Amino acid sequence: MTTSDGRSAVLDELEWRRMIADHTDRDALRAAMDAEPLTYYGGFDPTAPSLHFGNLVLLVTMRRLQEAGHRPIGLVGGATGLVGDPSGRTSERTLNDPEMIAGWVDRIRSQVERYLDFDGANGALIVNNLDWTASMSAIDWLRDVGKHFSVSRMLAKESVSARLEAGGISYTEFSYQIMQAVDFLELYRRHGCSLQLGGSDQWGNLTAGVDLIRRVEGATAHALATPLITRPDGEKFGKSTGSTLWLDPELTSPFAFYQWFLNTDDAVVGTYLRVFSFRGREEIEALESESAAHPEARTAQRALAAEVCELVHGADATERAVAASEALFGSGDLRSLDEATLEAAFADLPRTTFPADGDLPTVLDLLVEAGLSESRGAARRVVGDGGAYVNNERMTDASTPIDPSQLLAGRWLLLRRGKRNLAVAERER
């Protein structure tokens, strides 16, 4: 059983991990955690068929609180997903068909379930806010809920004021903060939920729920916001920026997911370790020190990529992703990889194709056609200098055609010039 000190120590842990961007009253929250395990919730709107990198921040934070002895509720927004959240947006969200939203709810529910434990005294719950919102009439909404909201205070919320300055906001998205507040109130009534977690761009919505519980129930509730995780240049990750890293392996392969974290910039790898890793403080600080002293070894990036990929995709997929990454750059056996892993590994490489019928091309042909050499003369020099590789095997004869047995999965050849200049040649089907 987790002690009261253990239950509130999670706040110190989140602070060390730099995961508290804002809070309503930390001392009051600590006292509440010391008194008894809290029920808390985090919400996920079905605005796409999968959760993404940004949602992972909330998922790992919810998991940390559950491991400290508190009870999580994962809310999938079947109702709020139909409306659209203005937070962080400068334009109206495209409203999707209700049947599509319902399908996305099921997919996202299954994703959220991967990160929570549903057994024991603090076993998790998964809920859908459409269950209590769909039955509310417009009159109920205005009389029972709307009367507790001041329009002037709603207009002052940062997400709303930013949209007003940018050109306006519809009543639909303006009402989103009320819907989220109703969710908090309903979970308080049904499950004794007294803490809501969310990103810092949700702060106005989080505090709206705290205020509504105080006004309607005369009770104290809490809100805790995590910071937005950004690129080294400060850009936000997400669907709207074209930089989405999906948690669904069908949308972002485990190899691509692993490779993305492996390529983490030195400037942010320490931050990502603190946010996403479940390693202890001493181990993370040791990795940070190692990264600062020997950045070329990329020790911290390898540890981060393997742990986060296993968290999201499991041990088997991570093992295949690591093997593919090593094989891609010459330290592993490409022939040991299955076709799906090879396809993912080759997806973003420069490529050329060659006909399925007739003679196979030579190394000279491939180096030029794939853009690894600017001319046939340059390609001959690369081969002569021992810098040309096919499937990680050094080529010594530029003019001999490729042997069919070299084709990986009967389709591909991995070409390499030097240590890190890669391309792929694919046989036409």
Average pLDDT, stretch 269-291? 96
123 vs 347, higher pLDDT: 123
Average pLDDT, stretch 116-130? 96
Average pLDDT, stretch 218-245? 76
How far is 247 from 311, CA to CA, in rounded Å? Answer: 10
pLDDT score at 89: 65
Average pLDDT, stretch 377-403? 91
Has residue 161 got a pLDDT over 60?
yes
Query: 41, 222, 225: which is closest to 127 by C-alpha?
Result: 41
How far is 236 from 239, CA to CA, in rounded Å? Answer: 10
Q: What angle do CA 311, 115, 211 make, to 5 degrees?
A: 135
Please give the distance of CA 303 from its chain centroid, rounded to a whole number: 17
Could you give the domains of the chain?
4-228 (3.40.50.620), 253-346 (1.10.240.10), 349-429 (3.10.290.10)
Has residue 13 got a pLDDT over 90?
yes
pLDDT score at 218: 97
Average pLDDT, stretch 119-146? 94
The strand order across the sheet containing 351-354 reads 351-354, 421-427, 412-417, 388-390, 393-394
How far is 309 from 391, CA to CA, in rounded Å? Answer: 25
How far is 35 from 27, CA to CA, in rounded Å? Answer: 12
Threshold 0.85, pTM exceeds: yes
Mean pLDDT score of the chain, rounded to an integer?
A: 90
249 vs 161, higher pLDDT: 249
pLDDT in tens, 53-101: 999 999 999 999 999 999 999 999 999 998 877 766 666 777 889 999 9
Average pLDDT, stretch 406-422? 90
Has residue 135 got a pLDDT over 90?
yes
Average pLDDT, stretch 150-156? 87
DSSP state of 141: I
**365-369 contacts at long range (C-beta below 8 A, 24 or more positions apart):** 366/390, 366/402, 366/413, 366/415, 366/425, 367/415, 367/417, 369/425
pLDDT score at 5: 66
Has residue 50 got a pLDDT over 50?
yes
